[in-house]
Amino acid sequence: MAAEYFPFCTAKNQIMIPILFWLIITTFLYTYIGYPLLLILLAHYRPKTWERAAITPTVTLVIPAYNEEAYIADKLENSVTLQYPQDRIEIAVISSGSTDKTVAVATQCAAQFPASRIHIHNRPKRQGKATAINWITSKLDSEIIIYTDANAILNTGSIQAIVRNFADTNIGCVSGRKQVQGNGEGVYWRYESKLKQLDSAVGSVMGAAGELFAIRRTIFRPAPEDSIIEDFVMTMNVIVNGYRVIYEPDAIAYEDDLLNLHGDWQRRTRIAAGCFQTLFRMPALLNPYIHKTAWQYFSHKVLRWITPFLLPVILVLNGFLITSPFYAALFAVQLFVYLLSLAGWLRVRQGKTGGLLHAAFFFFFTNAAIIAGFFRFIQRGQSVTWEKVR
């Protein structure tokens, strides 16, 4: 807009505003388009391969559970059907402060499958998932520890697919593939899965899916007990210790789409708070002289945590430039996308998902949750325990 109406638009600012505007736009384009394209090129011309082999190390499948009576029976029935030598695998359920029938149902299921070596551990006091995982892992002596959520159903070949990657001694962690059933998060996770596959091909995955991931026991490092998202901390600890984290698309964890907006908001803001917690606690991950994957961490993770704060800045800066027809058109496009997001929100409230409207809503919803999660983090408003949102 003209300088006579907005004193902020001095001659100097009229030069700086478009520069800043395009700098932020470029950051967005790099984050969501440029970085994936760069990964594609590097994966093609400079792939970082690793050895795979049909090995059968000893494995423990760890299932953390808090009030999972509705899912634990199906989870255990699924777990005992996974293809892996029975004498090389055991299953450990760790209940952390459950107040429902999780332990009773799990114990009953364990009795039905005596040959499957199912062990039920009950810690009556609820202290958070990180504490439960640290405790149970310290009791195990298997070579590979696989962590999986109680509500995630695994494909039958998932264990074999994961462990074959540990034939390479440089591999410290293997992330499975999360596949969401339904139209809501499905597109997002397909995009994320492709990025993880590319990240893996050029270096390391920047965070394993908590629904299914495995760590070599000898390099396991406990996550701090106040960790908000312990799976991310555990994954990044592997990188800190000099090992690679790779992605195994043939190991799949199926999970139902979450259509409850309030629950989804709580989950996303909690994850975001945990991301900022990790960012401030592990600054060395951004040092390229220490970690070769620093640019991946910055590009795939840190930029995504920063760019949500820039969305309103883009709109404001664009507002100062709309005297130009070109910038006026860009401003109109932004408003149109915001309107699409609003329409998408109305559709989701009606229980309808999928399509362009949902994609627009999901983008802004996710970015808004990151901003809210940041304020939860700085205000210490996020507990390490979580409220169930299913």
Boundaries of every domain in the chain: 59-257
Q: 3-class DSSP state for residue 375?
A: helix
DSSP characters for 103-153? HHHHHHHHHH-GGG-EEEEEESS---HHHHHHHHHHT---SEEEEE-TTPE
Mean pLDDT of 359-383: 90
The string of pLDDT tens digits covering residues 222-239 is 999 999 999 999 999 999
Task: Specify the fold of 59-257.
Answer: Spore Coat Polysaccharide Biosynthesis Protein SpsA; Chain A (3.90.550)
The string of pLDDT tens digits covering residues 169-205 is 999 999 999 887 655 555 677 788 899 999 999 999 9
What is the value of pTM for the model shown?
0.90
Q: What percent of the chain has pLDDT over 70?
A: 92
For residue 386, name the pLDDT band (cuts at 50, 70, 90). Answer: low
pLDDT of residue 220: 95
Q: Is 215 left (phi over 0), alpha (psi -120 to 50) or beta?
A: beta
Of 17-31, 178-192, 236-250, give the lowest mean pLDDT range: 178-192
Residue 2 reports pLDDT greater than 50: no
d(CA 248, CA 65): 24
pLDDT of residue 3: 46
Around 298, how many Cα atoms within 13 Å sit in the side-chain half-sphere? 13
Instruction: Specify the pairing of strand 59-65 against strand 144-148.
Output: parallel
Mean pLDDT of 353-380: 90
The string of pLDDT tens digits covering residues 74-110 is 999 999 999 999 999 999 999 988 999 999 999 999 9
For residue 114, name the pLDDT band (cuts at 50, 70, 90). Answer: confident
Alpha-helical runs (H) found in the chain: 11-29, 35-45, 72-79, 102-112, 129-138, 158-163, 186-202, 230-240, 261-281, 294-296, 303-306, 311-319, 325-349, 355-378
